[in-house]
Amino acid sequence: MYVTRKHKTYKRIRILQDLPKEDLPRKIKYMDDEGRTPLMLACLHGDLCEVYQKFCHSEMDAVDDDGWSALMYAAHYGHADIVDFLIEKGVDRNLTTHSGLTAGQLAYFNSHYEIYQLIK
């Protein structure tokens, strides 16, 4: 469960979490006001258990309004375990933000050199 800057986002994601698995679509198309999926938010907050749960129901290479993917959020915030999990599952390492940055560059610019090595 996450508390985001936007309480509306939190409320919508909580509703999705409370649904029984059989009621969930194969791929969740839900996005918050900034275009972030539940998987992206789980990566942003660094909770590997949530990432694992959301991964099965999300588009793994979806991007938000700024062109950020789940891998980019995990790399930017220094969540090496999540980056490792996403890479193992085959996410696209070469996606770029609307600013032209890759997940590896986001990790490097934020001094997460171990993550940069995982991604490159």
Confidence of residue 5 (pLDDT cuts 50, 70, 90): very low
Q: Where are the domains of the chain?
A: 7-119
Q: Kindly report, residue by residue over 64-75, the tens digit of the pLDDT.
A: 899 999 999 999
Q: Does position 1 have pLDDT exceeding 50, yes or no?
A: no
Per-residue pLDDT of 90-100, as tens digits, reads 999 999 999 99
Q: Is 110 exposed, middle or buried (0-12, 13-18, 19+ CB in 10 A)?
A: middle
What CATH number belongs to 7-119?
Answer: 1.25.40.20
